């Protein structure tokens, strides 16, 4: 199954390109790079072997580029959850 | 959604995620071995959550105990050992010391998960069981 905007919330985020496009903390806006690691509450954005920034999910709105080229705007609040828990996560409205 | 199809969907999703993690671990390990270990750990966690058997391509490359990415000669020691008449391949994780043993000559055709070290992943490896 490919990654689509429909299943992005339950699919793997690691390895996708992302950018923070909005946040109450303006210092976070503009951080971009590959998603290198994911924990329950944070994403690690950056380059392998280069600079990295850990961003709190619930404080950011991300623009995520999927492998097929489509770009999705995802509110970080619906991404909160450990990567293996998101597999079964249900989101009723957002 | 009917229960059965949702289970199938979940397994397929989990396999795809594991496959991606394995792919990225392979790419990133030369630059940052810690990240590759982290991806191994996540891949195991996802397989457990979806109640999958660990797929062979994952078993051969990731330490069962700590999730470390195993590269023969670098992060894993591969030895042929014998104890009495029994021969086995011992794969030692150099991070946590866990030894995985693959007995030889127990069956007519022994399962050979270490074969995944030597060949490119095939489509069959990624098919759900």
Distance CA B21, CA A20 (A): 23
Q: Residues for chain B: how many in total?
A: 129
Q: Is the pLDDT of residue B46 over 90?
A: yes
Q: What is the ipTM of this complex?
A: 0.88
Q: How far is CA B35 from CA A58, A74, A79, B68, B99, in A?
A: 23, 24, 21, 10, 22
Contact status of B48 with chain A (Cβ, < 8 Å): yes
* pLDDT value, residue B35: 93
Q: Of B51, B66, B123, whose CA–CA distance to A88 is shortest?
A: B51
Runs of H (alpha helix) within B1-129: 3-28, 33-49, 56-59, 123-126
**Interchain contact, A1 vs B48, CB within 8 Å:** no
Residues 6+ apart with CB under 8 A from B38: A37, B67
Domain boundaries, chain B: 3-107
Sign of CA dihedral A57, A38, B27, A3: negative
Residue A73 bridge partners (DSSP): A63
Chain A residue numbers with beta carbons less than 8 Å from the beta carbon of B13 are: 1, 7, 10-11, 87
Option in B16, B21, B38 nearest A1 (CB): B16
A11 within 8 A of B18, measured Cβ to Cβ? no
Distance CA B26, CA B24 (A): 5
**Other C-beta atoms lying within 10 Å of the C-beta of residue A67:** 11
Domain A17-86: which CATH number of 3.40.190.10, 3.30.379.10, 2.30.30.210, 3.40.630.40:
2.30.30.210
* pLDDT value, residue B129: 42
Contact status of A1 with chain B (Cβ, < 8 Å): yes
Residue-wise pLDDT for B7-36, tens only, equals 888 888 999 999 999 999 989 999 999 999
* Owner of token pair 């086995």: B88
Chain B residue numbers with beta carbons less than 8 Å from the beta carbon of A11 are: 13, 16-17
pTM score, whole prediction:
0.83
SS3 of residue B128 by DSSP: coil
Residue-wise pLDDT for A37-61, tens only, equals 999 999 999 998 889 999 999 999 9
Domain boundaries, chain A: 17-86
CATH superfamily of B3-107: Immunoglobulin FC, subunit C (1.20.5.420)
* pLDDT value, residue B107: 57
* pLDDT value, residue A73: 93
Contact status of A7 with chain B (Cβ, < 8 Å): yes
Average pLDDT over residues B81-103: 89
Chain B residue numbers with beta carbons less than 8 Å from the beta carbon of A83 are: 42, 45-46
């Amino acid at each position: 199954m490919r990654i689509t905007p429909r299943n992005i919330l339950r699919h793997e985020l690691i390895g996708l390109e992302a950018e923070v496009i909005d946040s109450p903390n303006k210092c976070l806006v503009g951080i971009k790079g590959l998603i290198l690691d994911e924990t329950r509450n944070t994403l690690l954005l950056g380059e392998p072997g280069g600079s990295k920034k850990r961003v709190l999910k619930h404080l950011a709105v991300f623009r995520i580029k999927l492998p097929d080229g489509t770009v999705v705007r995802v509110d970080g609040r619906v991404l909160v959850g450990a990567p293996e828990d998101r597999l079964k996560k249900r989101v009723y409205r957002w | 959604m009917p229960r059965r199809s949702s289970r199938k969907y979940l397994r397929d999703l989990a396999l795809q995620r594991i496959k991606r993690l394995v792919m990225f671990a392979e790419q990133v390990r030369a630059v940052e071995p810690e990240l590759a270990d982290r991806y191994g750990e996540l891949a195991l966690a996802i397989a457990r959550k979806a109640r999958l058997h660990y797929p062979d391509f994952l078993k051969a490359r990731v330490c069962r105990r700590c999730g470390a990415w195993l590269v023969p000669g670098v992060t894993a020691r591969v030895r042929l050992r014998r104890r009495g008449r029994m021969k086995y391949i011992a794969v030692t994780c150099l991070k946590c010391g866990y030894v995985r043993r693959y007995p030889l000559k127990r069956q007519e055709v022994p399962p050979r998960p270490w074969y995944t070290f030597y060949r490119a992943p095939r489509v069959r490896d990624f098919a759900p069981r």
